[in-house]
């Protein structure tokens, strides 16, 4: 069996290694245009930051062996041709025309099965100046080396990161580590489009507390060189200009489909990525595709989507191998899990955002639930800020978003599993999650969040979003904003125009609460706010609401001191 694999970074080598393990006498050739094989692309921001010290660590196995051509030949029994470009696929003859980029010699390779693992390429915005010096993407090893060499010169004090997605945010952290003043320029009203606006806003606030300037709703118009040295000095935006000794372009990637297109393989209309069936076969059953060049199916909506991730690439590489070797395995699709580290916060989501669920046609019910990531009396406990989204009709869990310094990845992964299983919020509330004070509270954050959503669904709690409350405050609407915390907490920080009525005093101070106005209750995390709303409901008050997420998730100005 002759297998040719085009692409030597993630899905390609994974498929190749697995094929050899399943069919040891298969003949597998990997074609890779670049010089680096099987490197940790997702590690590049950490190589820039210095967390990863040496370039070779990006190519090492966990046992410390470099994955180079010799490694693939000796250890994996694979032929790897790096520095080689695949030019054309001849499907009728089952041949790939290739070109050695060093010698410029062309030749052909025959295949029984072909795998396209051609990856993706960073999108370069169509603005003037992107070809200037000190302008980089952060996609390959060369990009990282370029950024590192500028950092080594210590000339790049001001850096503009264009695009506030995962890579932009990870690059920002890496650059701040080096003492750079970083400005993120993001066209959309928020960074981290994987999150709902108010969750992203919490991350923005946190990044600003770390000295990062976050300019949302701002469009980069040109990269300018005012020094005449051929290097960028300023970024012109539609809202003014920002000085920049270096610019990172991080507005996203585009799947590499030229070869597939040339071969007449089907391309997704919406995604512009290679279309595959659940066995990862393209429209030619002898040609498979995997990794950053293919589209995936969202398991919740059933829609095709383009979410390039190393985790998906590796899983897909294995599925391709199994099917090529005569097995029968489906890649089940994705649920939109993604996560990134932002200084000491994590920012993650799985499933649908509220916005995404609404546009998919769901009647959404959601909750914002802050809490400790472990027993609150443990010194290591840290706040975790969670948003949960469910389908009001069926109770099905649709999505979870998390930020904050606490252990977020755990809850994202549990939620991803629950969403995959089609669990409802009632199912989630009954999960037997592991409990010990160093790892969780007796009621895990996910269980509490599911219970808050259930309380809303069952009519025990009426929420109001921070955005809506802020609108009311700014419009000077007439309502009673009840702070249910202690006098000490209130003295320290509170919402504007709020009145302190500690929960413990509320039952005897009911006369102070107006019955003819809306009452909005809040506290630190909206547990006491919720309890206050129940006390008021019990006393016959109507139009009582609870601030979603409490002070902990309030993204706007507070009154301090």
Which residues does the annotation mark as catalytic?
42
Q: Which of residues 250-289 bind a second copy (CB under 8 A)?
A: none
- Contact call for residue 445 and a second copy (CB under 8 A): no
Q: Which of residues 151-190 bind a second copy (CB under 8 A)?
A: 166, 170
**Among residues 234, 485, 494, 545, which is the contact residue for a second copy, using CB under 8 A?**
485
- Give min distance, CB of 332 to a second copy, in A: 4
- Give min distance, CB of 481 to a second copy, in A: 19
Cα→Cα distances 473→505, 534, 556, Å: 25, 23, 11
C-alpha span between 9 and 341 (Å, rounded): 23
- Give min distance, CB of 123 to a second copy, in A: 21
Residue number with CB closer to a second copy (15 or 89): 15
**First-to-final CA distance of the chain:** 74
Binding mask 9-28 for a second copy (x = CB under 8 A): -x---------xxx-xx---
What does the DSSP 8-state code read for residue 42?
A: G
Of 100, 35, 96, nearest to 69 (Cα)?
A: 35
- Contact call for residue 447 and a second copy (CB under 8 A): yes
- Contact call for residue 125 and a second copy (CB under 8 A): no
Q: Which of residues 404-423 bind a second copy (CB under 8 A)?
A: 407, 409-410, 412-414, 416-418, 420-423
Q: Which of residues 490-529 bind a second copy (CB under 8 A)?
A: 503-505, 507, 523-525, 528
- Give min distance, CB of 301 to a second copy, in A: 14
- Contact call for residue 332 and a second copy (CB under 8 A): yes
Contact 32, 4 (CB under 8 A): no
**Among residues 91, 132, 341, 392, which is the contact residue for a second copy, using CB under 8 A?**
341
**Among residues 371, 399, 404, 529, which is the contact residue for a second copy, using CB under 8 A?**
371
- Contact call for residue 101 and a second copy (CB under 8 A): no
DSSP string, 117-133: ---EEEPPPSSTTTTSB
Cβ count near 25 (within 10 Å)? 7
The secondary structure of 339-383, three-state, reads EEEECCEEEEEEECCHHHHHHCCCCEEEEEEEEECCCCCCCCCCE
Pairing of the two strands 518-522 and 544-547: parallel
User: How many residues touch a second copy (CB under 8 A)?
Assistant: 109
C-alpha span between 432 and 420 (Å, rounded): 17
The distance of Cα 510 from the centroid of its chain, to the nearest Å, equals 46
Which of 299-336 are b and which e, b meaning 16 or more Cβ less than 10 Å from the residue's Cβ?
bbbeebbbbbbbebbbbbbbbbbbbbbeeeeebebbbb
Alpha-carbon dihedral angle through residues 371, 375, 380, 383, given to the nearest 10 degrees: 0
- Give min distance, CB of 100 to a second copy, in A: 25
C-alpha span between 308 and 254 (Å, rounded): 9
Residue number with CB closer to a second copy (129 or 550): 550
- Give min distance, CB of 311 to a second copy, in A: 4
- Contact call for residue 431 and a second copy (CB under 8 A): yes
- Contact call for residue 87 and a second copy (CB under 8 A): no
Stretch that binds a second copy, among 142-150, 238-246, 265-273, 376-384 (CB under 8 A): 376-384
- Contact call for residue 326 and a second copy (CB under 8 A): no
**C-alpha neighbours within 13 Å on the C-beta side of residue 546:** 32
């Amino acid at each position: 069996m002759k297998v040719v694999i085009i692409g030597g970074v993630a899905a390609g080598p994974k498929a190749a290694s697995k094929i050899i393990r399943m069919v040891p006498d298969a003949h597998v050739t990997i074609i890779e245009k670049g010089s680096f094989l099987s490197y940790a692309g997702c590690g590049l921001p950490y190589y820039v930051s210095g967390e990863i010290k040496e370039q070779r660590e990006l190519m090492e196995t966990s046992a410390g062996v470099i994955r180079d051509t010799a490694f693939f030949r000796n250890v994996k029994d694979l032929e790897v041709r790096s520095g080689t470009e695949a030019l054309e696929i001849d499907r009728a003859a089952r041949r790939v025309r290739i070109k050695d980029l060093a010698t410029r010699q062309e030749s052909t390779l025959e295949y029984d099965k072909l795998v396209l693992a051609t990856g993706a390429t960073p999108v370069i915005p169509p603005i003037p100046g992107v070809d200037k010096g000190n302008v980089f993407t952060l996609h390959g090893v060369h990009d990282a080396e370029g950024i590192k060499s500028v950092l080594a010169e210590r000339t790049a004090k001001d850096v503009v990161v264009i695009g506030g997605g995962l890579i932009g945010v990870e690059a920002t952290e890496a650059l701040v580590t080096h003492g750079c003043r970083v400005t993120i320029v993001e066209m959309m009203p928020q960074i981290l489009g994987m999150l709902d606006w108010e969750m992203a806003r919490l991350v923005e606030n946190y990044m600003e507390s770390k000295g990062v300037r976050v300019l949302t709703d701002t469009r980069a118009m040109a990269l300018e060189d005012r020094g005449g040295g051929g290097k960028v000095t300023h970024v012109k935006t539609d809202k003014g200009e920002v000085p920049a000794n270096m610019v990172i372009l991080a507005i996203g990637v585009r799947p590499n489909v030229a070869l597939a297109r040339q071969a007449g393989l089907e391309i997704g209309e919406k995604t512009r990525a290679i279309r595959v069936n659940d066995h990862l076969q393209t429209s030619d059953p002898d040609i498979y595709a995997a990794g950053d060049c293919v589209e995936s199916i969202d398991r919740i909506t059933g829609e095709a989507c383009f979410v390039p991730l190393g985790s998906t690439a590796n899983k897909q590489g294995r599925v391709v191998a199994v099917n090529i070797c005569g097995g029968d395995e489906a890649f089940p699709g994705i649920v939109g899990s993604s996560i990134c580290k932002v200084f000491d916060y994590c920012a993650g989501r799985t499933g649908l955002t509220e916005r995404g669920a609404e546009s998919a046609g769901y009647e959404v019910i959601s909750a914002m639930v802050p809490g400790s990531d472990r027993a609150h009396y443990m010194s290591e406990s840290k706040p975790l800020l969670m948003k949960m989204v469910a389908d009001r009709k069926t109770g099905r869990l649709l999505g979870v978003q998390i930020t904050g310094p606490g252990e977020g990845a755990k809850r994202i992964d549990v939620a991803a599993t629950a969403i995959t299983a089609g669990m409802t919020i009632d199912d989630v509330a009954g999960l037997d999650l592991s409990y010990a004070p160093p790892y969780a509270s007796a009621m895990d954050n996910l269980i509490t969040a599911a219970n808050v959503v259930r309380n809303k669904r069952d009519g025990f709690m009426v929420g109001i979003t921070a955005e809506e409350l802020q609108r009311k405050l700014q419009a000077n609407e007439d309502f009673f904003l009840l702070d249910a915390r202690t006098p000490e907490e209130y003295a320290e920080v509170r919402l504007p125009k709020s009145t302190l009525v500690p929960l413990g005093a509320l039952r005897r101070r009911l006369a102070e609460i107006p019955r003819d106005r809306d009452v909005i209750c809040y506290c630190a995390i909206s547990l006491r706010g919720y309890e206050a709303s129940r006390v008021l409901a019990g006393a016959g008050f109507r139009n009582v609401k609870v601030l979603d997420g409490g002070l902990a998730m309030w993204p706007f100005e507070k009154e301090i001191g």
